[in-house]
Amino acid sequence: MDPAAAAELAALAGVTMPPGEAAHAEDLYAAAMLASEDYRDHQAEVWGVLVARQWSTEPSWADLFDELTPERAQRLGQLYDALPDGARAEYDRRYGQPERA
């Protein structure tokens, strides 16, 4: 976020920001944007790992996990934080929660 935009936002909120705080806020904003981009990339990869083929009907989480190879299951463990809630519950049921999660 450029300093002029930060100053404009602060003015709208009725708050004056010292230059050091404005720089810190800018750094936090940039870090959050990068983190959310990584998270979105991980979510897309999760679906690529889970859905390895086309289904004629909508599969359940159990159906998807039944077809995982050990390598793909391991990769899901590495992507655990990006798993949808249903996939996370099925992962926990089958493999337990990863230690780092």
**Residue 45 maps to a domain:** yes
**Residue 101 maps to a domain:** no
Count of structural domains within the chain? 1
Model-level pTM? 0.63
Residue 16 to residue 19: CA distance in whole angstroms: 9
73-88 confidence digits (pLDDT tens): 999 999 999 999 999 9
**Residue 11 maps to a domain:** yes
**For helices 19-50 and 70-78, angle between their N-to-C axes, nearest 10 degrees:** 160
**Residue 100 maps to a domain:** no
pLDDT at 84: 93
Q: 3-state DSSP call for residue 34?
A: helix
pLDDT at 25: 77
How far from 89 is each of 7, 21, 28, 36, CA to CA, in Å? 44, 41, 32, 22
Least confident of 9-13, 22-26, 43-47, 72-76: 9-13
**Residue 62 maps to a domain:** yes
The proportion of the chain whose per-residue pLDDT surpasses 70, expressed as a percent, equals 84
User: What are the residue ranges of helices labelled H in 51-69?
Assistant: 61-66
Under the phi-then-psi rule, with left for phi > 0, alpha for psi from -120 to 50, and beta for the rest, what region is 14?
A: left
**Residue 14 maps to a domain:** yes
pLDDT at 15: 67
**Residue 12 maps to a domain:** yes
* Structural Rg of the chain based on CA atoms: 20
**Residue 20 maps to a domain:** yes
51, pLDDT greater than 80: yes
* Residue 13, domain extent: 3-95
CB 16 within 8 A of CB 10: yes
The residue whose two tokens read 């009907």 is 57
